[in-house]
């Protein structure tokens, strides 16, 4: 598991330094992405632990993560819109997949900042916690994810992420192919369940 967070409670990340905008051209062609890895796929689940400002490239970094836990102080938006700076770390591609096209266009076109309750309602945040609790909660979620059988969790994650850009029939074939490769793990889990483990949904969830 991977948890990303800022150095303090004031901000997760406020994006690139616009005073160094002259570096933009060289960063656009980076195969890893301008922020260093936003065009790469993480091999493991990732959680953004957000407190305070999460703006511009910082929001794009949070969108790179699978889950986003924010405090009640979290503020998210593409404020670079006000200065004519484009989204270049995947925001235009990931945000619609997370919140839907309509909500994504609202945030991308307007550049407005949304507070934690609205971000939670639209699915931009996975969960909202009290101030100071974002890292603890993100780590607890990571531990919960780490406790489930990893092989099938990772293949289901792969099917979800890769299938989002496919036609339904192709996505179903991807899901079936990955599922066939995990039948041994499935049988082992089914035997544990038949033996009484996990009855009543005990031990589920993060």
SS (H, E, C) 115-128: EHHHHHHCCCCCEE
Q: Catalytic residue among 7, 10, 80, 151, which?
A: 80
157 lies in which domain range?
149-201
In this structure, the answer to whether residues 58 and 88 fall within a common structural domain is yes
pLDDT of residue 37: 87
Closest CA to 52 of 42, 62, 44, 43: 62
CB atoms within 10 A of CB 50: 34
In this structure, the answer to whether residues 68 and 161 fall within a common structural domain is no
Any catalytic annotation for residue 10?
Answer: no
Q: Which two tokens stand for residue 191?
A: 């035997």
Q: Which two tokens stand for residue 170?
A: 């192709």
Q: pLDDT tens, position by position, for the chain (206 residues)?
A: 899 999 888 999 987 666 666 666 666 777 887 777 888 899 999 999 999 999 999 999 999 999 999 999 999 999 999 989 889 999 999 999 999 999 999 999 999 999 999 999 999 999 999 999 999 999 999 999 999 999 999 999 999 999 998 999 999 999 999 999 888 877 777 777 777 776 665 555 66
Residue 71 lies in a domain: yes
Q: What is the Cα–Cα distance from 195 to 193, expressed in whole angstroms? A: 5
Q: What is the Cα–Cα distance from 66 to 44, expressed in whole angstroms? A: 9
Any catalytic annotation for residue 60?
Answer: yes
Residue finishing a domain among 105, 125, 145: 145
Strand partners, 129: 71
Residue 135 lies in a domain: yes
Q: Is 136 helix (H, G, I), strand (E, B) or coil?
A: helix
In this structure, the answer to whether residues 175 and 119 fall within a common structural domain is no
In this structure, the answer to whether residues 108 and 181 fall within a common structural domain is no
In this structure, the answer to whether residues 116 and 138 fall within a common structural domain is yes
Place of tokens 């179903």: 172
Residue 206 lies in a domain: no
Q: H helices within 11-133, ranges in order?
A: 24-28, 57-64, 91-99, 101-110, 116-121
Ramachandran class of 198: left when φ > 0, alpha when ψ lies in -120 to 50, beta otherwise = left
In this structure, the answer to whether residues 123 and 187 fall within a common structural domain is no
In this structure, the answer to whether residues 135 and 155 fall within a common structural domain is no
Q: Is the pTM of this model over 0.75?
A: yes
Q: Which long-range contacts (CB under 8 A, 24 or more apart) does 128-132 make?
A: 128/69, 128/70, 128/71, 128/72, 128/74, 129/69, 129/70, 129/71, 129/72, 130/71, 130/72, 131/9, 131/51, 131/71, 131/72, 131/73, 132/9, 132/51, 132/71
| CATH number of the domain within which 122 lies | 3.90.226.10
Q: Give burial (CB, 10 Å; 0-12/13-18/19+) of 28.
A: exposed
The total domain count for the chain is 2
Q: Phi, psi (5° rounding) for residue 138?
A: -60, -40
In this structure, the answer to whether residues 10 and 50 fall within a common structural domain is yes
Q: Catalytic residue among 7, 60, 143, 173, which?
A: 60
Q: What is the Cα–Cα distance from 58 to 46, expressed in whole angstroms? A: 15
In this structure, the answer to whether residues 39 and 102 fall within a common structural domain is yes
In this structure, the answer to whether residues 9 and 48 fall within a common structural domain is yes
């Amino acid at each position: 598991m991977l948890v990303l967070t800022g150095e303090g409670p004031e901000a997760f990340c406020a994006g690139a330094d616009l005073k160094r905008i002259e570096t933009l051209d060289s960063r656009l062609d980076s195969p890893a992405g301008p922020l260093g890895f936003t065009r790469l796929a993480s091999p493991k689940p990732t959680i953004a632990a957000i407190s305070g400002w999460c703006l511009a490239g910082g929001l794009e970094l949070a969108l790179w993560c699978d889950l986003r836990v924010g405090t009640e102080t979290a503020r998210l938006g593409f404020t670079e819109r006000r200065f004519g700076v484009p989204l270049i770390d995947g925001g235009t591609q990931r945000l619609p997949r997370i919140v839907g096209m309509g909500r994504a266009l609202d945030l991308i076109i307007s550049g407005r900042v949304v507070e934690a309750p609205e971000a939670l309602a639209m699915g931009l945040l996975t969960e909202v916690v009290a101030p100071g609790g974002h890292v603890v909660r993100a780590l607890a979620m990571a531990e919960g994810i780490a406790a489930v059988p990893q092989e099938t969790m990772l293949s289901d994650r792969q099917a979800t992420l890769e299938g989002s850009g496919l036609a339904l029939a192709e996505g179903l074939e991807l899901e079936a192919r990955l599922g066939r490769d995990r039948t041994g793990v499935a049988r082992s889990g089914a035997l544990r369940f038949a033996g009484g483990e996990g009855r009543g949904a005990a031990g589920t969830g993060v």
